[in-house]
Amino acid sequence: MDLKTDFLFYSPDIEKTQALDPIESLHAVKVLRKRQGDLIQVTDGKGGWFRCEITRPDPKCCRVNIRSAEYGYQQPDRGIYIAISPTKNSDRIEYFLEKSIEIGISGVFFLKTQNTYPKKINRERLEKIAVSAMKQSLKAYRPELSDLVSFSDFVKASGSFTHKYIAHLNDTATDIMDIPMGDRMLVVVGPEGDFSKEELQMAAENGFKTITLGKSRLRTETAGVFAASILNARK
């Protein structure tokens, strides 16, 4: 497409509504000063990449006409999923979410382990961060986010992943650079207090292989970003 993308808008039902929601409309019309006839780029977060012409620059409901559409836009080579324990400091898990989405992941599962301190997550805020990171990095896929789920329930329901790993620094773990790659990759990152022995055993019993992210002990959010980076870089 010959349209230079200076800003990406998100509208999950753009083909049906032919309009931006109130928040995106306000930003387009009042902040970016878009006018009738201007061309903008819109994604539905499901791989759709739409070149649109503004037909009515209303800051409450900016109407558009789809000029062209591309589906499966820059579809990732593989699905990369990170299951991670929320951190005591919410800023840290938000940092992980933002950076890992910019790098490229398909979904994030938030896990409640024995050593997880927060008992809940702000799902609405995390969803907003996910959309913002998707738009910032000009991606057409909005990653899936889960509610806070128990570690035991999660590992028992992980059967759809044939390549699943749990990050734990020990003498028998395989380096993440050496693990076999597949179409759907899952890496589980533990809490600030690490996994319990029971959780490691449960993961092993449910087909998880232990991997190491290097010799250094990483913070939870650093480990998550590192894993996302390596899995994106691997062929």
Q: What is the pLDDT of residue 119?
A: 84
Q: What is the pLDDT of residue 1?
A: 42
Q: What is the pLDDT of residue 3?
A: 54
Both 126 and 214 in a single domain?
yes
Predicted confidence pLDDT, tens digits, the chain (235 residues):
445 677 999 999 999 999 999 999 999 999 999 999 999 999 999 999 999 999 999 999 999 999 999 999 999 989 999 999 999 999 999 999 999 999 999 999 999 999 998 889 999 999 999 999 999 999 999 999 999 999 999 999 999 998 999 999 887 899 999 999 999 999 999 998 889 999 999 999 999 999 999 888 899 999 999 999 999 998 7
Both 14 and 102 in a single domain?
no
Residue 42 lies in a domain: yes
Both 226 and 112 in a single domain?
yes
Residue 158 lies in a domain: yes
> What's 221's domain CATH number?
3.40.1280.10
131 and 10 Cβ atoms separated by less than 8 Å: yes
Residue 106 lies in a domain: yes
Q: What is the pLDDT of residue 171?
A: 79
Alpha-helical regions (H) of 18-162: 22-26, 90-103, 123-136, 151-156
Both 60 and 84 in a single domain?
no
Both 56 and 88 in a single domain?
no
- Domain span at 86: 79-233
94 and 198 Cβ atoms separated by less than 8 Å: no
Question: CA-to-CA distance for 223 and 105, rounded, in angstroms?
Answer: 14
Residue 1 lies in a domain: no
Half-sphere exposure of 128 (CA within 13 A, CB side): 5
216 and 226 Cβ atoms separated by less than 8 Å: no
> What's 15's domain CATH number?
2.40.240.20
Q: What is the pLDDT of residue 2?
A: 47
Both 30 and 141 in a single domain?
no
Both 25 and 88 in a single domain?
no
Rounded to the nearest 10 degrees, what angle do helices 123-136 and 90-103 cross at?
A: 30
Question: CA-to-CA distance for 68 and 95, rounded, in angstroms?
Answer: 34
